[in-house]
């Protein structure tokens, strides 16, 4: 920009802050969006009606309840803990960021098992936290025999995403307890997809003071647009997280909406049951077409084939109006794509498009 008084030099952000590619799923204007693991349907009708009524009772001129007491009490009741065990923030990404602001930073180290959710790496960079990635086994599970390598680096925080994004793999209880028992680190189990799976680390909270379970409203509660997430942990940790969060970081609207959503847990369970059955239908369809499918306990499926070029397949699907996530650039994922479980019709369109693409044989590697 030219003009009098405008400095010529560019002020650079501090070392380590750099825009990295791959964190944001590209958004395209297509008819079937199966790329960001959202719920295909919005929240139940009761939710909007109750929220509209609630809006008239909010004192908008006042700051919100700084500690979100009502919302935390409702979440505590849902999970069988007390509100002192609950920290809430604007999406689970902000929960993760708050954890890293408090327990990460200069001369602190976080360990992750790759492939996993890319935001751990990103937020570690933002908070100047050293991050070490350890490879998983070829079936994408955590290698118990190599945990000594992890502990040898004395991490301050260990992130375990379970079910893991982008593989959908659930971590066995045995793996979690082994890590919790043997490590001095804070163990963060990210259960963004927890309700889709058969086991939750919430059950381990009473036994381990170093455990934090992170949850979100973005998936099963069908409220990605609300930006609300929370952590369940020992009070000694949640007290620290509250100290680190900015004053009044969670607005009155969000607190009300979060509490109202929990009133319809039955509708959420029904939604989960439907998505789980659709997940199995898609997995079956993919297997029948000859793809390798990673058994998923989440609302998405990782799939690929040795003979098919995943990037070409991604483009071919986009041409058919279907957007899935190209994860080929993620560390240690290889030639695979990730598809979110959508509505029944969307899933059928996806399977049909795949069949057609395979028939046309344009996406195969040339021999
Ligand atoms: C594993 C995992 N953790 C956290 C998040 C972030 O969720 P939120 O929308 O609550 O920030 C996501 C979102 O896709 C995710 O996949």
Domain 32-43+266-360, architecture per CATH: Alpha-Beta Complex (3.90)
Centre of ligand 1 to C-alpha 228, Å, is 10
Model pTM score: 0.94
Centre of ligand 1 to C-alpha 54, Å, is 27
What confidence category does residue 60 fall into, taking pLDDT thresholds of 50, 70 and 90?
Answer: very high
Q: What is the pLDDT of residues 34-48, one digit of tens each?
A: 999 999 999 998 999
Confidence at residue 7, expressed as pLDDT on a 0 to 100 scale: 61
Mean predicted confidence (pLDDT) in 125-153: 95
Q: Which atom of ligand 1 is nearest to the CA of 219?
A: 9
The Cα-based distances of 124 to 14, 112, 149, 249, 307 in angstroms read 14, 11, 20, 21, 36
Confidence at residue 112, expressed as pLDDT on a 0 to 100 scale: 98
Confidence at residue 21, expressed as pLDDT on a 0 to 100 scale: 55
Q: Which helix (DSSP H) or strand (DSSP E) does residue 212 occupy?
A: strand 211-216
The Cα-based distances of 97 to 100, 207, 244, 323 in angstroms read 5, 25, 10, 29
More confident residue, 331 or 96: 96
> Ligand 1 within 6 A of 117 CB?
yes
**Whole-angstrom distance, CA of residue 27 vs CA of residue 105:** 32
Centre of ligand 1 to C-alpha 332, Å, is 20
> Ligand 1 within 6 A of 161 CB?
yes
Q: What is the pLDDT of residues 253-283, one digit of tens each?
A: 999 999 999 999 999 999 999 999 999 999 9
Q: Which atom of ligand 1 is nearest to the CA of 117?
A: 1
**Whole-angstrom distance, CA of residue 235 vs CA of residue 125:** 27
Name the residue of 114, 117, 217, 298 to mutate for ligand 1: max ligand atoms within 8 A of Cβ. Answer: 117
Q: Name the one residue in this structure whose structure tokens are 């929220």.
A: 51
Residue 18 above 90 pLDDT?
no
Minimum CA distance residue for ligand 1 atom 15: 192
Contact yes or no for 347/282 (Cβ under 8 A)? yes
What confidence category does residue 332 fall into, taking pLDDT thresholds of 50, 70 and 90?
Answer: confident
> Ligand 1 within 6 A of 97 CB?
no
Q: Is the dihedral of CA 264, 270, 272, 275 positive or negative?
A: negative
Domain 45-263 has CATH 3.40.640.10: yes
> Ligand 1 within 6 A of 98 CB?
no
> Ligand 1 within 6 A of 93 CB?
yes
Confidence at residue 38, expressed as pLDDT on a 0 to 100 scale: 95
Q: Which atom of ligand 1 is nearest to the CA of 164?
A: 1
Q: For strand 32-34 and strand 322-326, is the pairing parallel, antiparallel, or unpaired?
A: parallel
Minimum CA distance residue for ligand 1 atom 16: 165
SS3 of 293, please?
A: strand
Q: What are the boundaries of each domain within the chain?
A: 32-43+266-360, 45-263
Q: Which residues pair with 112 in a beta bridge?
A: 133, 159
Confidence at residue 70, expressed as pLDDT on a 0 to 100 scale: 97
What confidence category does residue 163 fall into, taking pLDDT thresholds of 50, 70 and 90?
Answer: very high
Confidence at residue 360, expressed as pLDDT on a 0 to 100 scale: 87
Contact yes or no for 126/17 (Cβ under 8 A)? yes
Average pLDDT, the chain: 94
Q: What is the pLDDT of residues 204-238, one digit of tens each?
A: 999 999 999 999 999 999 999 999 999 999 999 99
| Nearest one of 117, 166, 114 to 136, comparing CA atoms | 114
Q: What is the pLDDT of residues 166-196, one digit of tens each?
A: 999 999 899 999 999 999 999 999 999 999 9
Centre of ligand 1 to C-alpha 362, Å, is 34
> Ligand 1 within 6 A of 90 CB?
no
> Ligand 1 within 6 A of 37 CB?
yes
What confidence category does residue 20 fall into, taking pLDDT thresholds of 50, 70 and 90?
Answer: low
């Amino acid at each position: 920009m030219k003009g009098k008084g405008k400095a010529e030099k560019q002020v650079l952000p501090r070392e380590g802050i750099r825009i990295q590619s791959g964190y944001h799923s590209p958004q395209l204007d297509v008819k079937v969006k199966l790329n960001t693991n959202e719920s295909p349907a919005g929240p139940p009708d009761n939710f909007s009606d109750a929220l509209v009524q609630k809006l008239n009772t909010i004192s908008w001129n006042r700051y919100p309840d700084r500690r979100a007491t009502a919302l935390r009490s409702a979440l505590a009741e849902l999970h069988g803990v007390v509100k002192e065990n609950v920290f809430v923030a604007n999406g689970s990404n902000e929960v993760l960021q708050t954890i890293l602001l408090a327990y990460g930073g200069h001369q602190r180290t976080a360990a992750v098992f790759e492939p996993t959710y890319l935001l751990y790496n990103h937020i570690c960079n933002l908070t100047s936290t050293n991050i070490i990635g350890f490879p998983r086994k070829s079936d994408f599970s955590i290698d118990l025999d190599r945990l000594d390598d992890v502990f040898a680096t004395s991490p301050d925080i260990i992130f375990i995403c379970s079910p893991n994004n982008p593989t959908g793999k659930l971590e066995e209880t045995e793996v979690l307890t082994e890590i919790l028992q043997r490590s001095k680190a804070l163990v963060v189990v990210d259960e963004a997809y927890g309700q889709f799976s058969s086991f939750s680390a919430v059950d381990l909270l009473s036994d381990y003071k170093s455990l934090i379970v992170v949850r979100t409203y973005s998936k099963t509660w069908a409220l990605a647009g609300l930006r609300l997430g929370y952590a369940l942990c020992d009070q000694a940790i949640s007290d620290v997280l509250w100290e680190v969060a900015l004053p009044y970081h969670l607005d009155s609207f969000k607190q009300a909406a979060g509490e109202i959503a929990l009133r319809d847990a039955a509708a959420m369970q029904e939604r989960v049951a439907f998505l789980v059955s659709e997940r199995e239908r898609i997995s079956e369809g993919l297997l029948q077409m000859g793809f390798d499918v990673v058994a998923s306990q989440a609302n998405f499926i990782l799939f690929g084939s040795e003979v098919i070029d995943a990037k070409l397949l991604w483009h071919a699907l986009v041409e058919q109006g279907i957007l899935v996530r190209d994860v080929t650039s993620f560390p240690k994922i290889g030639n695979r794509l990730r598809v979110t479980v959508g509505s029944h019709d969307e899933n059928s369109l996806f399977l049909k498009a795949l069949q057609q693409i395979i028939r046309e044989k344009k996406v195969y590697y040339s021999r």
